[in-house]
Structure 1
């Protein structure tokens, strides 16, 4: 392989502009400790919104799921 500043020519004659990859790392400064609690709160809030929407649909149409039941 011959190397230049930006490209590498492989043995098959193909040019590779990205011959090396960066090493992955984990950013220790970001904390994911509160993520499950936040996810549970958001899930509960969306469930409450869905329940209120279900009650509103039942009150206005008289059907549990309008168009089906």
Structure 2
């Protein structure tokens, strides 16, 4: 018999949030051209000390920067 409470044997909490807890969200799809990606790559290279970034990192940083600007404007 266990001598103390074992949290790991408790049932998992439900994954679905209550309707009142849900916040509205927006989903957007956008396409970037090779020229736009190269412009972002050049901007990243100008702000770094020789570090090379992947396309994923460049796009993730750009999206993060844009989303924080939008949040701060609200």
User: How high is the TM-score relative to the length of structure 2?
Assistant: 0.23
Rg larger in 1 or in 2? Answer: 1
More strand by share: 1
User: How high is the TM-score relative to the length of structure 1?
Assistant: 0.24
